[in-house]
């Protein structure tokens, strides 16, 4: 996760503090006997200065204060090799053995501004890749036999490195054969398939040749920064400019941040409120394998494309249609890509305001009226706040208005939906909590220097003190975790859903040009972790996130998604507890009773049983590591998966996307509003997590009738 779930705070500390070099006890030979050839990519003098500067900043001011030593050097080497060749398709075992000479010297080279090892490794990788392109062309000149009973293992991350070139040739032969077989089964003619695959690798080779020295530098520096912390990154000037543009401007497209990961253009982040976000059909780590324009346009294969070129196909004028073939990040081996249809829109980063709905629900023989507030992000107009505008837009102001309206409509309880809410304004997380509790601490912050402070709700009034349910999932993070954790700690409501993401850190953006003035080249930016969040109980939100009171089935494992999936993630720990007074709304007995109710629902409710069955199916499918390269067997594998997709996922995705088509046909505001309202209702009816939260909240109201809504506590 490079740009996903980021909280940024203004940088002031580094601008006034001097930088010092770290001492190192072990003196090593820093000279690498390597001469760059004319065709090699080489580091610039400016890059060497940036390397040394970044090293000083990280070793002196990063929250973790990781010592720059042999242990870190070893991690950097492993990270860099994985970043270059994570699926072990280019390097041989001998190459890896040759790189061992750098295992315990990269730390010293970083301090000295020495980039020789970084570029030597990359240039060897470049040479090996060109050898692979040559081999592919030779292989595609020969016919393939699809009647041989053999298998292919696409995921080689945990495999051994190929012993020699011949073993690597065999791995590539099977990889190419697998692609050709899938295309053959899909109906593509053999000659067309060979032609398209030749073009794919020819295009990849051209992109490879366009790689610049600055691209290698960024890749190596991030192998260093991410050895310390997954949210600390170095951005070359081009990447920094793009990052700043995305933070400040709007653009037309599907609303997704993309990055090249291996051969695939991969979704890193969904922009809140955009078409991709609202479709519910895409998520981080999904890979885009093909793009088509309009309802009937032919798909263009983009595997091996550079991100910038892929984006040109995906972006486009608003109200136009783009169709994507998506290979899910958690897809089983040999999965068939699904098609997702989106209507491009004008995307603004401030989109995604809170929304209010009324839900009618029957449980325990009684009808309930529930308020639903969906919060995609914690937003705040900082400029309006700074100017003292009384009506500046903010999360807490919008939600307060909704709560007042819901009380007037005499709802029996409120659900706050924080699913896929990646965070945002810390101020708003604190203010939102204050709408549900009397004054008190909401979150603690520990700074890089060890100082601990707390953020308080200082308003004694309570906007809403009735039954409350907070719905979270694996992608609820940062500010969402602060709010959900505070509600849970104050025992103010029940938290339902999946374990949250576990991002409990704050990043500062540093313009390196402030330290390296007069350089002929721009030097980029550094995003560095300098704070950590803690709940008022003293428990960190880092790594573990928030564990719901009632934990629903999940298709996302902690090993693959969330902070705990990052090897260099800062650990969970505890500090002292803040002084706070919990309410009596929720207790252990109530939570225990609700979990028993949930176990009963698992046995009786069709939507939950289907959800569990689907997760069990995909879990078993993912355990399969190989796919057949024999045509008749592979056809059976694909047909089985297509049948499952058509039964489960395709219908849901089609229903989600229908409203987009209607808004194109009827463009008046009333028709659009009605279509969106109808679509939202249809989605809620199919939303197993929301339906179960409705059941549990009404069970909670039934079990604790004294918690009925009170509307008197609005005064200061």
Task: Give the pLDDT confidence of 668-712 residue by residue, as tens digits.
Answer: 555 655 666 666 677 777 899 999 999 999 999 998 765 544 433
- Please confirm, yes or no, whether 607 is among the known catalytic residues: no
- pLDDT of res. 714: 34
Rounded to whole angstroms, how far apart are CA atoms 515 and 407? 55
Phi, psi of 607 (to 5 degrees): -65, -40
Give the 3-state secondary structure of residue 75: helix
Q: Find the catalytic residue in 178, 223, 478, 540.
A: 478
Higher pLDDT residue, 301 or 456? 456
Lowest mean pLDDT among 265-269, 357-361, 570-574, 598-602: 265-269
**Is the pLDDT score of 389 beyond 50?**
yes
Bridge partners for 494 per DSSP: 469
Is 2 one of the catalytic residues?
no
- Residues forming a β-bridge with 360: 369
Pairing of strands 233-235, 525-534: antiparallel
Residue 279 pLDDT greater than 50, yes or no: yes
pLDDT of amino acid 33: 61
Please give the backbone phi and psi of residue 8, each rounded to the nearest 5 degrees, phi first. Answer: -115, 140
Q: Is the pLDDT of residue 651 over 60?
A: no
167-190: per-residue pLDDT in tens? Answer: 999 999 999 999 999 999 988 899
* pLDDT tens digits, 518-551: 887 789 999 999 999 999 999 999 999 999 999 9
Question: 705 or 637: which carries more pLDDT confidence?
Answer: 637
Percentage of the chain beyond pLDDT 70 is 86
Task: Label residue 615 exposed, middle or buried (CB < 10 Å: 0-12, 13-18, 19+).
Answer: middle
Query: Residue 712 has which token pair?
Result: 């008197």
Position 341 pLDDT exceeds 70: yes
Query: Which pLDDT does position 331 carry in this prediction?
Result: 73
pLDDT score at 706: 59
> Which pLDDT score, from 0 to 100, does residue 8 have?
41
Catalytic choice (229, 286, 457, 489) = 489
pLDDT above 70 (res 96)? yes
Mean pLDDT, residues 193-206 taken together = 91
Confidence at residue 388, expressed as pLDDT on a 0 to 100 scale: 78
The residue-averaged pLDDT of 305-313 equals 82
What's the burial of 450, exposed, middle or buried (CB within 10 Å: 0-12/13-18/19+)?
exposed
Q: pLDDT digits over 397-441, tens only?
A: 999 999 999 999 999 999 999 999 988 889 999 999 999 999 999
* pLDDT at res. 327: 87
Residue 140, CA atoms < 13 Å, CB-side half-sphere: 25
Q: How far apart are CA 376 and CA 8, in angstroms?
A: 18
User: How does strand 440-447 pair with strand 452-457?
Assistant: antiparallel
| Closest of 445, 448, 399, 406 to residue 421, by C-alpha | 399
- The pLDDT assigned to 248 comes to 42
pLDDT at 195 over 60: yes
**What would the pLDDT profile of 613-628 be if each residue is shown by its tens digit?**
888 888 887 788 899 9
Predicted pLDDT at 306: 75
- What's the pLDDT tens digit per position in 231-270? 999 998 877 766 655 544 445 578 887 877 777 888 887 8
Which residue of the set 174, 491, 503, 544 is catalytic?
A: 503
For residue 358, give the 3-state DSSP assignment: strand
Residue 81, phi then psi, degrees to nearest 5: -65, -40
Higher-pLDDT residue of 54 and 351 is 54
556-577 pLDDT, tens digit each: 887 788 898 999 999 999 999 9
Q: What is the residue-averaged pLDDT of the chain?
A: 85
Average the pLDDT over 79-98 and give the result: 96
Q: CA torsion angle for 400, 406, 410, 416 (degrees, to 10)? A: -90
pLDDT (average), residues 26-52: 78
Catalytic residue at 489?
Answer: yes
pLDDT at 646: 58
Residue 323 pLDDT > 80, yes or no?
yes
Spatial distance between the Cα atoms of 362 and 370, rounded to a whole number of angstroms: 10
E strand or H helix that includes residue 527:
strand 525-534
Q: Model's pTM, two decimal places?
A: 0.82
Residue 318 has pLDDT above 70, yes or no: yes
Task: Name the pLDDT band for 344 (thresholds 50, 70, 90).
Answer: confident
Classified as helix, coil or strand, 582 is: coil
Packing angle of the helix pair 45-61, 213-228 (nearest 10 deg): 10
Give the closest residue to 462 by CA, choosing from 442, 441, 432, 486: 432
Distance CA 587, CA 600 (A): 20
What helix, strand, coil percent values describe the chain, rounded to 5?
45, 15, 40
Pairing of strands 413-417, 468-472: parallel
pLDDT over threshold 70, residue 655: no
| pLDDT of res. 9 | 39
Q: Provide mean pLDDT across the span 388-404.
A: 89
Q: What pLDDT score was predicted for residue 587? A: 94
Q: What's residue 226's pLDDT?
A: 94
When pLDDT is averaged across residues 337-347 and rounded to a whole number, the result is: 85
Q: Confidence band (pLDDT; 50, 70, 90) for 35?
A: confident
- List pLDDT tens digits, range 184-194: 998 889 999 99
Check: CB of residue 380 under 8 Å from CB of residue 353.
no
Choice among 90-94, 586-590, 633-637 with the minimum mean pLDDT: 633-637
């Amino acid at each position: 996760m490079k740009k996903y779930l980021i909280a940024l705070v203004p940088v002031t500390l580094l601008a006034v503090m001097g930088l010092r070099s770290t001492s190192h006890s072990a003196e090593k030979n820093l000279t690498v006997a390597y001469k760059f050839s004319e065709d090699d990519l080489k580091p610039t003098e400016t890059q060497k200065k940036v390397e040394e500067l970044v090293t000083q900043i990280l070793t002196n001011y990063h929250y973790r204060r990781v010592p720059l030593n042999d242990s870190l050097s070893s991690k950097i080497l492993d990270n860099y090799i994985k970043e270059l060749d994570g699926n072990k398709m280019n390097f041989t075992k001998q190459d890896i053995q040759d790189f061992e000479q750098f295992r315990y010297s990269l730390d010293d080279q970083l301090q000295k501004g020495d980039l020789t090892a970084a570029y030597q490794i990359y240039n060897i990788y470049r040479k090996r890749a060109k050898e692979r392109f040559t081999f592919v062309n030779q292989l595609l000149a020969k016919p393939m036999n699809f009647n041989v009973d053999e298998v292919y293992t696409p995921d080689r991350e945990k495999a051994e490195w190929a012993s020699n070139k011949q073993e690597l040739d065999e791995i590539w032969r099977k990889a190419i054969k697998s692609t050709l077989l899938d295309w053959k089964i899909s109906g593509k003619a053999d000659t067309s398939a060979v032609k398209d695959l030749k073009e794919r690798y020819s295009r990849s080779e051209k992109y490879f040749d366009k790689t610049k020295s600055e691209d290698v530098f960024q890749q190596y520096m991030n192998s260093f920064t991410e050895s310390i912390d997954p949210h600390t990154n170095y951005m070359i000037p081009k990447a920094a400019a793009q990052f700043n543009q995305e933070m400040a401007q709007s653009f037309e497209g599907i609303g997704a941040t993309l990055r090249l990961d291996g051969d695939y253009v991969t979704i890193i982040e969904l922009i809140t409120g955009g078409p991709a976000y609202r479709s519910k059909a895409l998520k981080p780590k999904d890979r885009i394998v093909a793009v088509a324009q309009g309802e009937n346009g032919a798909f263009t294969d983009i595997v091996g494309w550079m991100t910038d070129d892929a984006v040109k196909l995906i972006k486009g004028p608003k109200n136009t249609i783009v169709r994507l073939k998506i290979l899910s990040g958690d897809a089983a081996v040999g999965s068939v890509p699904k098609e997702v249809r989106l209507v491009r829109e004008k995307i603004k980063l401030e989109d995604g305001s809170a929304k209010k709905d009324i839900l009618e629900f029957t449980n325990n023989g009684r009808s309930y009226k529930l308020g639903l507030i969906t919060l995609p992000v914690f937003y705040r107009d900082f400029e309006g706040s700074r100017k003292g505008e009384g009506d500046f837009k903010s999360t807490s102001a919008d939600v307060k208005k909704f709560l007042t309206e819901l009380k007037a409509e005499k709802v029996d309880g409120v659900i706050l939906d924080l699913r896929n809410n990646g965070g945002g304004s810390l101020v708003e997380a604190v203010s939102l909590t204050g709408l549900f509790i009397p004054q008190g601490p909401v979150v603690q912050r520990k700074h890089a220097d060890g100082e601990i402070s707390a953020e308080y709700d200082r308003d004694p009034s309570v906007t809403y003190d009735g039954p409350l349910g907070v719905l979270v999932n694996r992608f609820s993070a940062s500010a969402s975790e602060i709010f959900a954790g505070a509600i849970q700690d104050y025992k103010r409501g029940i938290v339902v859903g999946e374990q949250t993401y576990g991002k409990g850190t704050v990043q500062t953006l540093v313009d390196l040009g402030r330290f390296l003035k007069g350089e002929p080249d721009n030097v980029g930016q550094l995003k560095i972790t300098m704070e950590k969040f803690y709940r008022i109980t003293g428990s960190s939100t880092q790594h573990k996130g928030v564990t719901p009171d009632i934990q629903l089935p999940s298709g996302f494992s902690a090993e693959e998604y969330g902070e705990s999936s990052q090897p260099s993630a800062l650990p969970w720990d505890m500090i002292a507890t803040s002084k706070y007074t919990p309410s009596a709304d929720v207790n252990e007995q109530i939570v225990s009773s609700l979990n028993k109710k949930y176990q009963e629902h698992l046995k009786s409710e069709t939507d939950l049983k289907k959800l569990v069955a689907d997760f069990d199916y995909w879990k078993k499918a993912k355990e399969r590591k190989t796919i057949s390269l024999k045509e008749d067997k592979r056809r059976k594998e694909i047909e089985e998966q297509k049948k499952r997709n058509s039964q489960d996922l395709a219908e849901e995705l089609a229903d989600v996307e229908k409203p987009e088509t209607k808004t194109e046909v009827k463009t008046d505001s009333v028709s659009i509003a009605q279509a969106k309202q109808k679509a939202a209702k249809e989605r809620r009816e199919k939303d197993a997590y929301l339906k179960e939260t409705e059941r549990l909240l009404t069970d909670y109201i039934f079990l604790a009738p004294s918690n009925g809504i009170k509307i008197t506590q609005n005064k200061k």
